Amino acid sequence: NEGALWGARFASGPSPELAELSRSTHFDWDLALYDIAGSHAHAKALAAAGYLTADEERAMHEGLDALAARITDGTLRPSEADEDVHGALEQALIRQVGPDLGGKLRAGRSRNDQIATLVRLYLLDHARVIARDLLRVIDAIVAQADAHAAAIMPGRTHLQHAQPVLLAHHLQAHAWPLVRDLERLRDWSSRAVVSPYGGGALAGSTLGLDPQLVADELGLARPAENSIDGTSARDVVAEFAFVTAMIGVDMSRFAEEIILWNTREFGFVTLDDGYSTGSSIMPQKKNPDIAELARGKSGRLIGNLTGLLTTLKALPLAYNRDLQEDKEPVFDSVRTLEVVLPAFAGMVATMRFDTERMAQLAPEGFSLATDVAEWLVIQGVPFRDAHEISGSLVRACEEQGIGLEDADDALLAAVSPALTPQVRSVLTIEGSVASRAGAGGTAPARVAEQRATLISRAQAA
Q: At what angle do helices 235-261 and 111-147 cross, to 10 degrees?
A: 30
Please count the residues of the chain.
461
Task: Please tell me which residue in 22, 279, 425, 456 is annotated as part of the active site.
Answer: 279
Q: How far is the CB of 85 from ligand ARG (least distance, A)?
A: 8
Binding site for ligand ARG (CB under 6 A): 24, 28, 84, 111-112, 115, 319, 321, 323-324
Q: How far is the CB of 213 from ligand ARG (least distance, A)?
A: 23
Q: Identify the DSSP state of 164.
A: E
Minimum CB distance to ligand ARG smaller for 233 or for 386: 233
Q: How far is the CB of 41 from ligand ARG (least distance, A)?
A: 18
Spatial contact of 36 and 70, defined as CB atoms under 8 Å apart:
no
Q: How far is the CB of 164 from ligand ARG (least distance, A)?
A: 55
Q: At what angle do helices 289-312 and 235-261 cross, to 10 degrees?
A: 160
Q: Is 270 helix (H, G, I), strand (E, B) or coil?
A: strand
Q: How far is the CB of 86 from ligand ARG (least distance, A)?
A: 6
Minimum CB distance to ligand ARG smaller for 28 or for 371: 28
The alpha helices in 351-420, defined as continuous H runs, are 355-361, 369-378, 383-400, 409-415
Spatial contact of 155 and 162, defined as CB atoms under 8 Å apart:
yes
Query: Nearest to residue 39, comparing CAs of 126, 121, 125, 124?
Result: 121
Minimum CB distance to ligand ARG smaller for 126 or for 234: 234
What are the b/e assignments for 2-27, b being 16+ CB within 10 Å? eebbeeeeeeeebeeeebeeebbbee
Nearest-angstrom CA–CA distance, 207 and 329: 35
Is 279 marked active-site? yes
Minimum CB distance to ligand ARG smaller for 307 or for 365: 307
Minimum CB distance to ligand ARG smaller for 86 or for 451: 86
Spatial contact of 46 and 108, defined as CB atoms under 8 Å apart:
yes
Minimum CB distance to ligand ARG smaller for 41 or for 185: 41
Is 158 marked active-site? yes
Task: Please tell me which residue in 15, 158, 190, 280 is annotated as part of the active site.
Answer: 158
Q: How far is the CB of 42 from ligand ARG (least distance, A)?
A: 16
DSSP bridge partners of 340: none
DSSP bridge partners of 163: 155
CA trace torsion 404, 410, 415, 416 (10° rounding): 110
Minimum CB distance to ligand ARG smaller for 115 or for 214: 115
DSSP bridge partners of 353: 269
Tell me, what amino acid is at 449? Answer: E
Nearest-angstrom CA–CA distance, 307 and 57: 42
The alpha helices in 109-166, defined as continuous H runs, are 111-147
Q: How far is the CB of 180 from ligand ARG (least distance, A)?
A: 31
Nearest-angstrom CA–CA distance, 339 and 318: 35
Tell me, what amino acid is at 181? Answer: D
Nearest-angstrom CA–CA distance, 122 and 301: 18
Strands 352-353 and 222-223: unpaired
Tally of helices (H runs) and strands (E runs) in the chain: 19, 6
Q: How far is the CB of 330 from ligand ARG (least distance, A)?
A: 12
Span between the terminal Cα atoms of the chain, in Å: 50
Minimum CB distance to ligand ARG smaller for 114 or for 367: 114
Kindly list the catalytic residues: 158, 279
